[in-house]
Homo-oligomer: A and B are copies of this chain.
């Protein structure tokens, strides 16, 4: 999914933010030798994403904690379903709890919303894509959650894919020149996607040799016309103002890809709770 060290670093920063020089309450209210068992449970229907991330937060804070996932990413869970269990030092569990839940609830929230979009166009050819509209610092998790929800990833970042937008076109003086410049300068391993606003620009992009085209905020009939014009030779991506209400008719135009910023910038957190169900004191 991602290199181990990348996740560790992300979690360390998150723990540093919340724990800092120490969890004052836990440090003062507990003796430190208590052990416990905690259960994470879904409080509403959701699609699971981030179970291993959730566990890794606890293990990063305290490698002696035991973690067991009871659902896999991509599975659905209903109200009351057990998602995971953590046991070991109670102080460690309580200190890590909030960061772990913040990540899990966000990831499940994204997966759950993604699944709704995917289900909405079930059986149609289009795929649901994410965007770069992720929470800064959390992109690897946000995009992973989209996949867990059944969506596909667009390029990860500015460094791994070419997307020529209106401003690049304006700066280069036209689609043809922009594509020409890019083709001459990027490694041969890069495809070139071009954003267009209307049929005229689509025509220019096709002539320029674009490898795929993003239809930016086009109307349904114009998108359908674009699909007809291109005839399946290159992929077409619908983008802009894609709501759950609208996604099915957008897919009906025959586009190959539908990118949805809301998946990662506007998903509500999934409702999940962590309850400590056993507490014991260890012998000193």
Contact = CB atoms under 8 A, between A and B. Distances in A.
A137 B140 contact: no
Contacts of A71: none
Across the A-B interface, give the 8 residue pairs with the lowest CB-CB distance, nearest first.
A161-B189, A14-B136, A266-B268, A265-B269, A20-B159, A137-B137, A28-B185, A23-B158
A198 interface: no
Bin chain A's interface residue count. Answer: 35 or more
A102 B62 contact: no
20 contacts: A1-B22, A2-B21, A18-B139, A18-B157, A20-B158, A21-B139, A21-B140, A23-B159, A25-B168, A25-B182, A28-B182, A30-B172, A94-B167, A95-B158, A106-B265, A135-B138, A136-B138, A156-B187, A160-B160, A262-B269
B5 A132 contact: no
A28 B105 CA distance: 27
Contacts of A269: 133, 261-262, 265-266
A83 interface: no
